[in-house]
Amino acid sequence: MSLDADPRSMSTLLSDAINQLTRLVRGEVALAKAEVAQNVRSAAIGLAMLVVAVVLALVALNVLAAALVVALAEAGLGAGWSALIVGVVILAVAAILVMRGISALKPENLAPSRTVKNVQADAQTIKETMTNDNRQH
């Protein structure tokens, strides 16, 4: 395609290019906002998991303390050891929630990675377009 085939003036072409670039930037900003909002929701869920884990850990500590008291009082396998097993299971659940909550709060999970990829792809497309246009002239 040559420049002679396009009936638009240079100012119209430049205006169209600026408008397209403006739309592209606005679209990328909107995508970044949406992605950050989604990541904030994920962080909130991670934080909620940590809060639940703390509550469960406190309950587990109470149960484990009660189990130890009962176990020492009875000195046999009975209600105390049962409470001990329940406390250990609750503590294990709390540990799993802590690990998942911390994982959800890692910086790489919060970064707008899709937007970064799109911007890189857009920059590459612009470079290729500029290179192709320069070759045609």
What's the confidence (pLDDT) of residue 62?
Answer: 87
Q: What is the mean pLDDT of each run of 10 residues along the chain (137 residues)?
A: 66 86 88 87 91 92 80 72 79 91 81 79 80 66
What's the confidence (pLDDT) of residue 5?
Answer: 65
What's the confidence (pLDDT) of residue 84?
Answer: 76
Exposed, middle or buried, 20 (CB in 10 Å: 0-12/13-18/19+)? exposed
SS3 for the chain, per residue? CCHHHCCCCHHHHHHHHHHHHHHHHHHHHHHHHHHHHHHHHHHHHHHHHHHHHHHHHHHHHHHHHHHHHHHHHHCCCCHHHHHHHHHHHHHHHHHHHHHHHHHHCCHHHHCCHHHHHHHHHHHHHHHHHHHHHHHHC
Structural domain boundaries in the chain: 9-111
- The two tokens of residue 1 are 């395609």
What's the confidence (pLDDT) of residue 98?
Answer: 93
